[in-house]
Structure 1
Amino acid sequence: MASTSESSVFDVVVIGAGPVGLASAIEVQRRGFSAVVVDKGALVNSIIGYPTNMEFFSTPELLEIGGHPFPTSHYKPLREDGLDYYRRVAFAENLNLRLYERVVGLEGEPDQYEVVTEKGRIQCRYVIVATGFYDVPNYLRVPGEDLPHVTHYYKEPYAHTGQHVVVVGAKNSSAKAALQLLRAGAHVTMVVRGAAVSDSVKYWIRPDLLNRIKEGRITAYFNATVERITPDAVEIQTPEGRHALPASYVYALTGYHPDFSLLAALGITCQTDAAQTPTHDAETLETNRPGVYLAGTVCGGLNTSRWFIENGRYHAQVIAARLAGEQAPELPEVLQPVQLSK
């Protein structure tokens, strides 16, 4: 893998070292472009943040990048399988990685850009933004959300045995966390803004959660909103009135969104639609700034379930072909938006 001390002049800067960012770097390198991948965190930082032993919703062949087989003994890979696979692919492709280097701006003109980071400047002709969304939670914006026992990321249940835990939300992440916490011996209460557990929860998870709620092993409050979090309780408003729920820990699993401040710093505008979709051509993936492209989940704005590794990885081929003056490849049906949220 190339050293980060090498020349800071490249054909392409890829912002984001997740699977789609790595795929983008691989595809442009194979077409003769020099490339560097810059990320504010670790390699595949979002996957590092996933729950321990989390199972991907996709089978391994749908998570592959660069044509590298994804070997695993599981029908659907675990988080740890993904971490190992993408690391090995990055090394096998000798990708130039500049990790723990935050991008703060983009200056210059097309073909003569400078990506500005907290550690310096990188000259380039083109930029590919593949930053995903997992690093920016949707905050509740209530008093007490910044207390140390409140988090927007779930890792594992074992520290909560015998404790009262409140889970806010009712989509896939919340559902899986509530079930794991229950089976690790926690007393679990769910606070759900809607009238029911979301229909988007995977078909093998939703019945399990509904049955645990029905039998009373998990308490759930629907049409409920969090008003305040204290060191030992979550105060909520429901159609039946206010309740104070005992809580030694709170998982506010209310979803995530792209880093719109970074997009603005790069000069990428967003539409006024409900999803705040970043401005880009749906066929070429080029943004309002010529020579600056989007790839992966960031293309969907707040609609974070529109793109995932399974279909977003093909953006890398589209962009690389565009830069090389090639005809865009004929892509499989999976490139169409699908519901694959975690």
Structure 2
Amino acid sequence: MADIRFDGKVAIVTGAGGGLGRQHALELARRGAKVLVNDLGGALDGSGGGSDAANAVVEEIKAFGGEAIANGSSVTDDAGVQLMIQQAMDAWGRIDILVANAGILRDKSFAKMEVGDFQVVLDVHLLGTVKPAKAVWEIMRQQNYGRIVVTTSSSGLYGNFGQSNYGAAKLGIVGFMNTLKLEGQKNNIHVNAIAPVAATRMTENLMPPAMLEMLKPEYVTPGVVYLCSDEAPTGVIMTAGAGAFAVARIVETEGAYLGEGGLSAEEVRDNWDKIADPAGQQPYDMGGAQTAKVLRKVQGG
């Protein structure tokens, strides 16, 4: 099969001044995409900012003959997001790919976490995904083409101590993707999620050096590049790290119909093994499929 190329396509990568985002931007550019490199340039907790990191990645891209521009907007700022989109449209006249990668950490146990620490992480990860996606959505609809890759995490899918804010935001992004995949289908807009395991500023203090070496960001990027391609699926959560790739799914058990007359908490307790039995469990493509299953169970199916 032919190599995946992005000649003539325009990509925006948020949080692309370092780590995963930098690798995504570099590889898309190597494969022919024109890339807007967005990075606020702030500290890990979101404080501060500047365009030096984004400019440095742009220079890397130009050094190997690629085409790129830098943007220092915050993905939480409405005017900044609009500026980012306008820059790309003014330079190249279209936007084909959005990789929503920007993020921060404010890790604390829930008992010690301030609501403000929760809010700012939700703003950057969840609304910082929603706002750029909203800004490119109509452009992609008019083009009848778009590829959006959002960034989730095992902390959202499965939980992680000290990351209630981060986990809530990251699973919220999956819920967002699950609806966009439906609404984008008629206009050839595919929306997928990457759940990376990588050595970045967010993880460098959590792992020993040998493990960090195995988990280079560039080992995640091939999955992201595939999800940006013409052949990409839609509505998929891809996990990636150290060269290993998998698909994560939310599944529902077949469950049990307990009837309506005299239904009680005790019946739920007494039938718990059947309710939770994983045999026959499956993922659903949309919320209505769950309703259909419930009605089938009521009718004896």
Do the two structures share a fold, i.e. TM-score over 0.5? no
Name the one with the larger helix percent: 2
TM-score, length-normalised on structure 2? 0.38
TM-score, length-normalised on structure 1? 0.34
Name the one with the larger strand percent: 1
Structure having greater relative contact order (Cα 8 Å, sep ≥ 6): 1
